[in-house]
Amino acid sequence: MPHLIEIVLLMMAFFLVGCLIGYYLRRATMSNDTAPELAPNVTPSGRSTGSETAPNEETPAAAPKTASAETVTEKPKPAPKPAPTAKPADKKPAAKAPAKKTAARKPAAAAKAATDDKPELLSAPRDGKKDDLKNIKGIGPKIETILNEKGIYHYDQIAAWKRKDVNWVDGELSFKGRIDREEWVKQAKALAKAQK
């Protein structure tokens, strides 16, 4: 029991020391510029000190202070210097143009190869009605939304996938092997057959 009292007293002492350190650090870091300006008749506690004045009398006194504070803080910034010359800017795009042409050729070839691996994609569901792809085990609302954004709306689209199509969708979804593991194609074939 005596140890319990000692522990409680030590905790209280450390708490008080921490409060004092925090208080002095806050006072040291606080400058007079950041302290809020108070009305002349108001103490820091928010109570007025002597004569009570109407709100209309305090407002004009406060307005000049804020206006003067705005004029002090809003110093005009110097205008940015204009660019030295336009000639160096003209030379840089000319140097980068050949690199852009070769870079444009590579994505075009990659895009052509990527379109060869794509499954049958639609711009919109047939007859404006899409199949509920969430009936396939492993496809939730988020994956269904992604598939719809890619142009996959129907069971028969998934049922017609070949290996290259599965690989393409795997790459798009970043779920390597998930389609095979959960047998989406097999499930889609069964759902498409039941739908007919």
* Alpha carbon distance 130, 152 (integer Å): 9
Q: In this predicted structure, which of 62-71, 150-159, 160-169 has the lowest mean pLDDT?
A: 62-71
Write down the pLDDT at residue 106. 47
- Name the nearest CA neighbour of 152 among 188, 177, 125: 125
With bands split at pLDDT 50, 70 and 90, how would you rate the model's confidence at 177? confident
* Alpha carbon distance 124, 151 (integer Å): 7
Residue 171, Cβ neighbours under 10 Å: how many?
12
Residues 5-55 pLDDT 10s: 999 999 999 999 999 999 999 888 875 545 555 555 555 555 555 555 544
Is a pLDDT exceeding 50 seen at residue 111?
Answer: no
| The 3-state secondary structure of 46-83, one letter per residue | CCECCCCCCHHHHHHHHHHHHHHHHHHHCCCCCCCCCC
- Rg of the Cα atoms in the chain: 36
Q: Is the pTM of this model over 0.75?
A: no
Write down the pLDDT at residue 171. 86
